Amino acid sequence: MDKILFDERNHKYILIGFAESKDEQGIPSNQYLIIHKKKSILIDPGGFGLFPILLSRLLKYTKLQNIKAIILSHQDPDVCGGLNIWLEMTEAEAYISRLWLRFLPHYDIKKVDRIIGTPDEGMDLHIDGKFHLKLIPAHFLHSPGQINVYDPVSKILFTGDIGAGMLPCSENSLFVEDFERYKGCIDGFHKRYMASNEALRKWISTVEKLEIDIIAPQHGYLYKGESINKLFEYLYQLKCGIDLL
């Protein structure tokens, strides 16, 4: 499934993969494409097996030569497993926390010179003219080097594994419709994979300052409207990781 989440003037934000590939075998994931004018940014392209289906959808909106950046939220294979072929097929630079630069060659990546390590404090990724994406640190929230991506034009925050839900789980279609019912889809994952409530509160104090219309995680349904506030409230109180030892 592909779905345009935002389309205004020269800017699009597109969900190009939504948890439906059989190749993912139990860990379905979401992939996103941002297009600003003619320049395109791919977020968390996923494993090697996803390349054919993502390519067919991507070509409906842009060209391979227009992909200028690939942003990787963290080091896992459901994020980076297909990076090698994307680097071979495009001239894009890939961005990931500097913590993982030494690990990515284990994916047999040939174009390591085009992988850029982002600093711990995050950075602005300038795409075209005044337009930039904000790469926001989300340390210890599953990965000690996770980064989120905020698009100030669409006001969409990509949160990686924060807010991620295990599917199939609920009767939602694309967006969370009843947070209280959906909580069961995210509770176990967050208690096990998020490091601590302190890390969650640090992250919330950073992102709650942003204007957010949609939260787009790497797994599960997306959040908008009241479900965003409900997610923040849930995470702010959540005991997880080392809190539960």
pTM: 0.94
What is the pLDDT confidence band of residue 172, given thresholds at 50, 70 and 90? low
Question: Residue 232 corresponds to which tokens in the numbers above?
Answer: 């923040």
What is the pLDDT confidence band of residue 13, given thresholds at 50, 70 and 90? very high
Half-sphere CA count of 7, side-chain side, radius 13 A:
6
User: Mean pLDDT over residues 125-136, rounded?
Assistant: 93
| pLDDT for 171 | 66
Whole-Å CA distances, 107 to 20, 101, 134, 167, 222: 24, 11, 26, 27, 29
Q: Bigger pLDDT: 6 or 29?
A: 6
Q: Bigger pLDDT: 201 or 169?
A: 201
3-class secondary-structure state, position 238? coil
* Cβ burial, residue 149 (10 Å; 0-12/13-18/19+): buried
At 77-99, the pLDDT tens digits run 888 888 999 999 999 999 999 99
| pLDDT for 111 | 80
What is the pLDDT confidence band of residue 108, given thresholds at 50, 70 and 90? confident
At 21-76, the pLDDT tens digits run 555 456 788 999 999 999 999 999 988 888 888 999 999 999 999 999 999 999 98
Write the DSSP symbol of residue 195: -
At 135-153, the pLDDT tens digits run 999 999 999 999 999 999 9
| pLDDT for 142 | 92
| pLDDT for 166 | 80
Q: Under CATH, which number does the domain 3-244 receive?
A: 3.60.15.10
| pLDDT for 107 | 82
Write the DSSP symbol of residue 117: E
| pLDDT for 40 | 97
Summary mean pLDDT of the chain: 91
> Rounded to whole angstroms, how far apart are CA atoms 241 and 200?
11
What is the pLDDT confidence band of residue 20, given thresholds at 50, 70 and 90? low
